Structure 1
Amino acid sequence: MSNRFGLKGNIALMVSHCAGMLDLVALPLWIGVLVATYQFDPQQAGGLVTLFLIGAVLASVTLAPKFKQLKRRAVASLGFLLSGICFLTASQISDFIPLAFLHFGAGVCASAALSMAHGTLARSVNPHRLFAIAGFSLGVMGLLFMGATPNIIQAVGGTSLFLIFGAIMMVGSLACALAFPALSFNESTQGQQAPNANATIPKSVWYGIVGISLMAVTQAMTFSFMERVGNDRGFSADSITLVLVALAVINIVAAALAGILETKISAKWVLIIGPVLQIIFANIMMNASSFPFYAVSAAFFVSLMLFTHTFVFGLLARLDTSGRAMAATPAMLMIGAAVGPILGGTLVKLVGYHGIGLATIVFGCISLYCLTRVFARQDIATKPKLAL
């Protein structure tokens, strides 16, 4: 069934989304700090972030099938709290092995919380619109994060990044403890059918899951090394920071447009164009020696994923009557994202940055095929009627 969460409940979901999706905005600084401050090579730095994302995938896959039975508020608030403790502890450690365990633990805990938030969000009256608002909130947080964090790191040192991560997780924990919304599974609203928890997930939904996961591979693999490739091409730190701030602003606009255009444009075209543009921008970013080309491709890169995933989330939320697939949203994103940083680091180490560009072509083409297969069912409306 559909649920209305009220202002406090919606705010808790927005804060949860921002905390749980921290990697989406922080990847380049995260990798940059691990390389520049901790002196890890690109493969090791990518491996640490990958461990965070592997932990996230395992938590999401484990908890999503049990979403209905769990105490969602308790899992969300405790998950963010423990993730915050892991990051705060990481700020005091410089050895690879302890950092590896802490990254993995932080990923498990943050994703457990995020799975509760996404599963709840998918049961709102209008999942597409609420997910777009969540993306807008993440864009605002990203703007604040990118505007302040590089200066803090420069002034205090790279370890401050993990202190900031820990603080964000603690805020998420507090918001969930105070206002995480309750769900009703037994009633129907405005003639809508209650979700059948035992229904089989349609094949078209599985295609969508694979497609968005592969977009996440390209996203993480490329974005993780955005700051490093700019630095190695000789672009100044101030210029790269300016690009990151512009990226955050564009993300806000993209998330807002995804909500506004829900009933105005075809979801099918969004799912086709998204992977294609992702391939183009990734290759420009990884191969450009000119700053303007690098800056434009980097500034718009993340917004492609935000915009496309909003339409994918809304579409799959309507197709998956069991409700289980959307609770696994973190796994959809992070099972792909988990591969990205270490794969990108390995390609950079062995081949160079252009290797990432070539890999994005392979993943992007497979993703495009899978996302078009979502529409193999003839009963899918590509321009859904807005739920009120």
Structure 2
Amino acid sequence: MKTIKSNPIDKTSVYVCAGLVSGAGALLLNVLPVLFGAFAERFGLGEHQLGNLALAMNLGFGALGLASLLWIHRLSWRIISVLSSVLVIGAVLSVLRDPSYEALLVIMALAGAGTGALYALAMTIFGDSSQPERAFGFKLGIETIPGAFLLIVLPVAIAPVWGFEGMLITIALAMVVMGIVPLPWVPRRSERQREVESGAAPVDCPQSRAIVWLSLVASLVFLTGIMSVWAFLELMGKKTGLSADTIGAVLALGFLINAGGGFIASALGLKAGRFMPVAVVVLAELLGLVALAQFSSLTAYVVGALCFLFSISFVLAYTFGVMAEFDLSGKLVALGALCLSLGAAFGPAIGGFLIEQFGYPAVLVFSGACSVVVLAVYGVAVLKVQRTLKHAQDPEAAVLSRF
């Protein structure tokens, strides 16, 4: 297990710059509603075709996230970020050539692959932190801000003046700014991996591996439940009678609230233990889902959406944090990118099925059930953390094992 000590990762400059790399990895997912709206208008695509494009992007994202286990510690982190960013930029700009639908599927898969590699890289960088809950809270907060900014700027300032082409060029420039420009302040390689190769790192054990896998399962289930509702938040707002502009403003504010949740988790760290902060925020999320079910009230929709969105970065900061702390090899933490892609792929599909069959309350119940399962799984992981620390010879174990 890592101890809290001087660590080249735990610097504000690294946090900010690696957070921008993470934001590049999440950018296409964050601006997907605006991007797909532009695709539908430009190429005359229907909902089913857009869904296939999203599936292609998520498959590429997940495939590269999984494949990163093979090379994430073999190549320079800066080289990985440059190559991945160039792949995304090339894919985005190739849409300017008005490709066929079949070519668009390939392009979105390639763009997803590039962003998946970037996200896996960011997971690995922050996973090297000696204070993972703090590090991942900051990461999840800062990666959300560029997406929230572009969700407002692209349709309001860019598209009316420069059109579809301007939107794509803006996204490409954003990838340069986030995926390439910050690299001088990003480490070239993992310090923890050097310890593993030299034999100085702690030996992996079944207890630590169990904690890692429980945390991964919790993250996947949580993201599936979240994405099952996120994909339909706009439609829920319209059912409440809200205008598209009002819904857009609420969701943009929700993105910023989501970032705030990450920053609050970063500031809180382990001061209140591992479990209680997550339990309180999951309870707030459940209350938010109940509020969203009250379709007749604007206030209920706004409060419900903000409570729901606040929970995302906060909860993931703790599930990813525990995973990173006990991933003694430093390899499995990159699978957080796979969790994101699978949740983004299966969540909306499950949500759409439930809505068609049983109505909107069904998907809200499903998302709430996922969060309850997450709390139970995460609780088991925390109990294992306590037991592991009690048996450790680390003199700081008593401090770190607060529940």
Q: TM-score, normalised by structure 2?
A: 0.81
Amino acid at match of 1:86: A
Amino acid across the alignment from 2:400: P
SS in 2 for 1:323: coil
Aligned AA for 1:384? L
Structure 2 gap segments, 5+ residues each:
390-396
Using the aligned pairs only, state the percent identity: 22
The 5 Å alignment of 1:1-388 reads: 3-5=7-9, 9-22=14-27, 25-30=30-35, 33=38, 40-90=45-95, 92-93=97-98, 95-152=100-157, 155=160, 161-175=167-181, 177-183=183-189, 184=191, 185-187=193-195, 194=201, 202-231=209-238, 233-282=240-289, 284-285=291-292, 288-348=295-355, 352-377=359-384, 378-379=387-388, 384=400
Q: Which moved more, 1:153-162 or 1:86-95?
A: 153-162
Question: What is the CA–CA distance in structure 2 between the aligned matches of 1:28 and 1:143, rounded to whole Å?
Answer: 12
Unaligned runs of 5+ in 1: none
* Aligned partner letter, 2:157: I
Larger RCO, structure (CA 8 Å, separation 6 or more): 1
Q: 1:376 to 1:131 in 2, by over 3 A?
A: closer
1-10 or 206-215, which deviates more: 1-10
Deviation, 1:213, is 0.7
User: How many residues get paired?
Assistant: 382
Contact residue 213 and residue 323 of structure 2 kept, 8 A:
no
Q: Aligned letter for 2:175?
A: M
Distance 2:28 2:251 in 1: 14
Instruction: Determine the C-alpha separation between the residues in 2 that align with 1:34 and 1:298.
Output: 26
Look up the equivalent residue of 2:8 and give its one-letter code: R
> Hey, what's the Cα distance between the residues in 2 that align with 1:195 and 1:52?
37
Where is the helix percentage greater, Structure 1 or Structure 2? Answer: 2
* Alpha-carbon displacement from aligned partner over 1:204-224 (angstroms, at most 9, x marks no partner): 221111111111112222112
In the TM superposition, what is the alpha-carbon distance from 1:46 to its structure 2 partner? 3.5
AA aligned to 1:213 is L
Q: In the aligned structure 1, how far is the partner of 2:296 from the partner of 2:99?
A: 33
Q: Cα RMSD (Å) of the superposition?
A: 3.3
- How far the C-alpha of 1:385 sits from its partner, in A, is 8.3
Answer whether contact 2:215 2:378 (CA < 8 A) is retained.
Answer: yes
Which residue identity does 2:226 align to in structure 1? Q
Query: How big is the shift at 1:301?
Result: 2.2
Alpha-carbon distance between aligned partners in 2 of 1:262 and 1:304, rounded to the nearest angstrom: 15
Change (3 A) 1:382 1:57: farther
Q: CA deviation at 1:123?
A: 1.0
CA distance in 1, matches of 2:398, 2:234: 37
Q: Provide closer, same or farther for how the CA distance between residues 234 and 102 of structure 1 changes in structure 2, counting only shifts above 3 A.
A: farther
Partner secondary structure for residue 180 of structure 2: helix
Cα distance in 2 between the residues matched to 1:373 and 1:161:
45
Within 2, Cα distance between the matches of 1:48 and 1:385? 45
Distance 2:398 2:347 in 1: 30
Q: Which amino acid aligns with 1:49?
A: A
CA contact (8 A) 2:14 2:185 kept: yes
3-state SS, counterpart of residue 338 of structure 1: helix
Could you say what secondary structure the match of 2:181 adopts?
Answer: helix
Is the alpha carbon distance of 1:24 and 1:129 closer, same or farther for their aligned partners in structure 2, counting shifts above 3 Å? farther
| Distance of 2:398 and 2:315 partners within structure 1 | 13
Instruction: From the superposition, tell whether residues 327 and 340 of structure 1 become closer, same or farther in structure 2 (CA, over 3 Å).
Output: same
Letter in 2 for 1:175: V
Distance 2:381 2:372 in 1: 15
Structure 1 counterpart of 2:220, one-letter code: S
Map Cα deviations across residues 128-185 of structure 1 (whole Å, 9 max, x no partner).
2222222332243244223323313662556755444333223233236544312333
1:38–1:94 Cα contact (<8 Å) kept: no
TM-score under structure 1 length normalisation = 0.84
